[in-house]
Chains A and B, each alone.
Chain A
C-alpha cells in the first residue's frame, strides 16, 4: 500500500513539473521570457517589427529561442559576470518596468501601474543593483557579490513598501561600496526591510554606514542565516524607526561609529519624531548578536527610545574609551514580565575602555550597559565577562531606577 501511494505521488509530481515550454525574446542583455501557453494569438509581423502577446518588438538584433525552461511569473533574474550583467525577466513585466544595464550595474525602474509583487533574484559578481519602485517586492540574494565603484551603493532599494530581503540557504553574499559612494550606506534601503532565509550576508561600508534603512528593519524568525557587518566608516547598521530581531545571527565589528544605531523617524521638519509604531526602539526577541566596539565613544546597540530584549543571546564588547556595549536614551527591559526563565535572554557584557572626553568636554565612561532612564530585569541573565576591566559595580549604569524581578545578575552589582 505504501509503495502504491509513493508511486502515485511520483506520477503526479512528474506530470505537473515536466511541462514547461518557453519563448525567449533576447534584446541585448535582456531576455523577456514567455510561457508558450501565454501566447494565445499569432505573432504578427509588421514591417521590421513583430508583435507578441500585445507587445511590439523591433527585430534588429533580436534573437528568439523556444526551450523547455521554466517561466517564473513576476520574476526578474539578474546574473552578473565579468562580461557584465544579463537579465531574464517575465515578459509580462516588459510594459511596467524599464531595465538599464551598464556593465556590472543594473537599474530597474517600475511604473506606477505596477500592481503585482515582483521578485528580483541576484547572483554572480558585479557592481551594483538599484531598484526604484513603489510596490512591495522581494530581493533574493542567491550567491551575489557586488562592489560598487561609483557614487551609488552596491544595493539601493528605493521602495516605500515592504521589501523582503531573502538570503538563500547555502549562499554567500557580499556587498561593499567605495569611498566615492554619495549615499548613506553600501546597502541602502529606502523603505522597510524584512530579512528572511538561511544564507550569509557580508556588508562593508567604505564611505559611511555599512547598512541603512530609513524605515524599520526586521530580521524575522525565518531569517536563520548570518548577517556580518565587516567594516563601516560610520555605523554598522543605521536604522530609522525601529530595529527588531527575531532570529538569525548578527555580527558587527570594525566600525568607526556605532554597531546598531536606531534613530527616530522624523517628520518633515526633521525635528519631530513621527507617530510610527515603535519609533526609536530596538526589540530583540531571538537570535544571536555579537557586537565589538573598539573605537572610542561608540555603542554596540544604541537607540533613542525603549530597548526591549525578550530573548536571544547577546555578546557586547566595549573596548573603546567611553564606549558602551548597549545603550538606550530611554528604559531598557530585559526578559518577559512573569517569566522565570533565566536562560533567555542571555546578555554577556565585556567593557575594558577608559574614560573618553568628547569635543564638548563631557566625560563619557566605558560601560557594558547604559540607560538614561530605568532598567527592568524581568527574566534572563546579564553577566559580566570576567575579563572586563570595568568593575562589577560600574559595568551597568542606570540613570533612573533598577527593578529586578526574576532575572539574574551574574558578577554584576547595580548601585
Chain B
C-alpha cells in the first residue's frame, strides 16, 4: 500500500512538473520586436480602434497597432524591451523615452541586457519607427 501511494505521489509531482502554467504572454511585431507580459495575475487583451491593448494583472501594458502585429504566444520565459533583436536594433541605437503627455524624458543608446533607470510611471520607448509602452514600477 505504501508503494502504491508513493507511486501516486511521484505521478502527481511529475504531472505538475510537465503541466506548469505559462508565466508570460509574448507579443511580437512585424518588425520583430517582442514584449512579454506576466500572467500570474491574469491578462486581458482587447482589440479596439485598430489597437491591440494587453493589460496584465500587475498593471503592465502592451499596446500596438493591430496591423503591426505578427503573432503572440504563451511562454515560460520573458522577452523585453531591452532585448531588441540586434539585427533590427543594433547595439548603440538611440532610444528616446517619452512620458504619456508627450514630454521627452530621456535618450540613451541601446545596450543588450542593460536596463534603463526611470521613476515609476508609464513611458513610451521609441527606437526609430518602432515603439512600445511600458510601466516602470
Q: State the A residues within 8 Å of B (CB).
A: 4-5, 8-9, 11-13, 15-16, 18-19, 21, 36-37, 39, 41-45, 47-48, 59-68
Contact = CB atoms under 8 A, between A and B. Distances in A.
B42 A65 contact: yes
A222 B8 CA distance: 30
Interface centre among B6, B20, B74 (most CB of A within 10 A): B74
A168 B6 CA distance: 35
Given A59-B47, A63-B46, A65-B43, A11 B71 contact: no
B114 interface: no
A21 B21 contact: yes
Contacts of B20: 19
Given A21-B22, A62-B47, A8 B6 contact: yes
Interface centre among B11, B12, B70 (most CB of A within 10 A): B12
A62 to B, nearest CB: 5
B103 to A, nearest CB: 32
A112 to B, nearest CB: 33
Chief secondary structure at chain B's binding surface: mixed
Given A19-B16, A45-B66, A64 B44 contact: yes
Contacts, number: 80
B71 to A, nearest CB: 4
A42 B74 CA distance: 8
Interface of B: 1-2, 5-6, 8-9, 11-13, 15-16, 19-22, 25, 39, 42-47, 66-67, 69-74
A307 to B, nearest CB: 50
B73 A43 contact: yes
A8 B44 contact: no
Nearest to B22: A36
Given A36-B74, A45-B71, A63 B44 contact: yes
Contacts of B73: 39, 41-43
Nearest to B47: A59
14 contacts: A4-B2, A11-B13, A12-B9, A18-B16, A19-B19, A21-B21, A39-B73, A41-B73, A42-B71, A43-B72, A43-B73, A45-B70, A48-B66, A66-B25
Given A18-B16, A19-B19, A66-B42, 5 more contacts: A21-B22, A41-B73, A42-B73, A43-B73, A59-B47
Contacts of A41: 73
Given A36-B74, A45-B66, A15 B45 contact: no
A36 B74 CA distance: 8
B99 to A, nearest CB: 28
Contact of B47 (A4, A44, A60): A60
B5 A9 contact: yes
A96 to B, nearest CB: 25
